[in-house]
Amino acid sequence: MIIVRDLVFRALSVPELIIPTGTAALVGPNGSGKTTFLQVLAGILKPEKGSVRINSRSPLECRIGFVNEYPDRNMLFSRVSDEIASSLRFFRYPCEEISRRVELALESAGVLPLKNRRIHTLSGGEKALVALLAATIHSPEVLLLDEFDSHLDDRAIDAAEEIINYSGAASVLRCTQNMDIASRSNTMVALYCGRIRVTGSPYEVFSALSGTCFVPFGWRAGG
């Protein structure tokens, strides 16, 4: 469970927000503070005021996987296998275990041929999948995804869902512009101009956002 209280960071102001354990989607217009909010939750940015608690701990005390909207900004290494292995090396896993986990991760995602490829030779979708594998290989408690799916076609989205499900993360919060993906979440949060406009189940949020573009086509069409 993620609990936010009296949070202030620049234009972001969240007096109180509780995101239950499970899957959640963060939606809202460009410039509404979604990326900033995710970075605060991840511990990348420190709030000017207020607190973030994840299962009663600070973000820095939790295992968090974070994937940026732009795949190139996630990459620390030049080769795919090294990038995916990076968090395991930081945690000082044995070399044999690292090799085993990297091989298994690539194979389970159906992208084993990418193992020895150079990052700069990958497509945008391939980079997004590699970044997701790197963020999940250390079995994070919480997975925070910042519109990484904007680089993926339908087939890659299916592969990404497999990776996310296999990660074992108890909490997955994704910022997305894909309302069909958002509709599959247990909880939704709509952020406008740095403020929480509405939160609740997909039904509750889509009902509150009726008439906006942040509603699946089937809802707008009356389906």
Q: What is the dihedral of CA 87, 55, 170, 156, to 10 degrees?
A: -60
Residues 27-77 have pLDDT tens digits of 999 999 999 999 999 999 999 999 999 999 999 999 999 998 887 777 889
Return all residues near 28 (Cβ < 8 A) that are at least 6 apart: 34, 190, 191, 192, 197, 214
Using alpha carbons only, what angle is made at residue 214 by residues 166 and 203, rounded to the nearest 5 degrees? Answer: 70
What is the spatial order of strands in the sheet that 49-54 belongs to?
12-19, 2-9, 49-54
- Which pair of structure tokens corresponds to residue 150? 């904007």
Q: What is the pTM of this model?
A: 0.92
Question: What is the pLDDT averaged over residues 108-122?
Answer: 92
Q: What is the pLDDT of residue 151?
A: 75
Nearest-CA neighbor of 148 among 35, 70, 72, 84?
A: 70
pLDDT at 113: 93
Q: To the nearest whole number, what is the mean pLDDT of the chain?
A: 92
Q: What fold characterizes domain 1-55+170-223? A: Rossmann fold (3.40.50)
C-alpha distance across the termini of the chain, in Å: 32
> Concatenated DSSP letters for 55-88?
TTB-GGGS-EEEE-SSGGGG--SSBHHHHHHHHH
